[in-house]
Amino acid sequence: MILNLTTTFAYDAFRIIEALKNERNYYNIKSNSYITSYKVSDILETLEKMKLIILENELIESTKVLDSLLENHRDKIDTIEEQRLFIEEYIVNVRPAWVFIIPSGRDELKAYLDIDEYSVFKEADLYSDYSIDTINWWDSISAKIREMSEERQIEIGRSGEYLTLKYEKKRTGVNPLHKAIDSNRLGYDIVSIVERNEPTNLYIEVKTTTNNGGYIYITRNEWMVANSTSNYLFYVWNCSKSVNKIMILDIEKVKKHIPVEYGFGKWTEVKIDVNSLVKEYGWKEEFIDDWKVYY
């Protein structure tokens, strides 16, 4: 079981890490009496999830991160520096529910932390001052989370594109072109055809969410291309763990959500609430079995 980030878990985990200086046998570590709150197996499983150790049968192997920590801090390894490294490895590898709030700022994050989680950050002096080291830690972890978020959004977007390729092949009998792989500046992701008996090009911009709500984002470039291209549609996918649903929108249905420009102001991207679209147009179809996409 993966443990939550608490001061008790951190305390017990550091005791395990201390023991790893001299002992690497799983059962010997497990039998030691200094562990007080959590099962040793759960602590080790969480440390492995954090990529600090590797469990190989009866042996506990340390990763490069942990080796460096043990090498540089032979006497004491739960200093402020090590506590911050521990928190960072937990955040990046375990990815708690609040992980993507971090780039919004530490006060914003605080509203999502429970008392135990907040205590871990507080003990590492991450909420106590504005020192350069503290600011650098928050900047560093925020940059990593933004990168993780971008990777996640790419994965979600690709899943919608793959579903569109399957949908169009089933609808038209012709393999569509996955143009998003070639360029993300075209203003559309997929080129299909209008109908089986009408091989005119159909240009499709794909938007994907992983829940019933959320938002889609339309760029100025996508909208300019949509308005200058015949046969252009937006395919909005809802990819959940149980079913995938699609909503097909033409330009007129989207137009009411696009900003009107005045003077020298130019919009670059518009955020549209998916729930508002669902209430007005609804999901078109549902697919199961081999159409499922999981996260």
pLDDT of residue 293: 44
Query: What is the pLDDT at residue 284?
Result: 79
Residue 3 and residue 265: Cα distance in Å, rounded? Answer: 50
pLDDT of residue 75: 54
Burial class from Cβ neighbours inside 10 Å (0-12, 13-18, 19+) for residue 186 reads: middle
pLDDT, residue 72, reads 60
Q: Which pLDDT score, from 0 to 100, does residue 14 have?
A: 85
Query: What is the token pair recorded at 215?
Result: 């938002």
What's the whole-model pTM score?
A: 0.76
Model pLDDT for residues 227-238, shown as the tens digit of each residue: 999 999 999 998
Residues 283 and 238 sit within 8 Å (Cβ to Cβ): yes
Model pLDDT, residue 295:
33
Structure tokens at 126: 């991450």
pLDDT of residue 18: 81
pLDDT digits (tens, 9 = 90+) for 186-234: 999 999 999 999 999 999 999 998 876 789 999 999 999 999 999 999 9
Q: Would you say 123 and 7 are in contact if contact means Cβ atoms under 8 Å apart?
A: yes
Predicted local distance difference test score (pLDDT) of residue 244: 84
Token pair recorded at residue 207: 């938007």
Chain-centre distance for alpha carbon 12 = 29
The secondary structure of 167-232, three-state, reads HHHHHHCCCCEEHHHCCCCCCCCEEEEEECCEEEEEEEEEEEECCCCCEEEEEHHHHHHHHHCCCE
Residue 62: other Cβ atoms inside 10 A: 19
**CA-to-CA distance for 199 and 194, rounded, in angstroms?**
6
**pLDDT given for residue 34 in this prediction:** 56
Residue ranges of the chain whose pLDDT lies below 70:
32-36, 71-78, 212, 241-242, 286-295
- d(C-alpha 93, C-alpha 87), whole Å: 10
Which of 293, 216, 292 shows the shortest CA–CA distance to 249? 216
270 CB-near residues (< 8 Å, 6+ apart): 217, 218, 223, 257, 258, 259
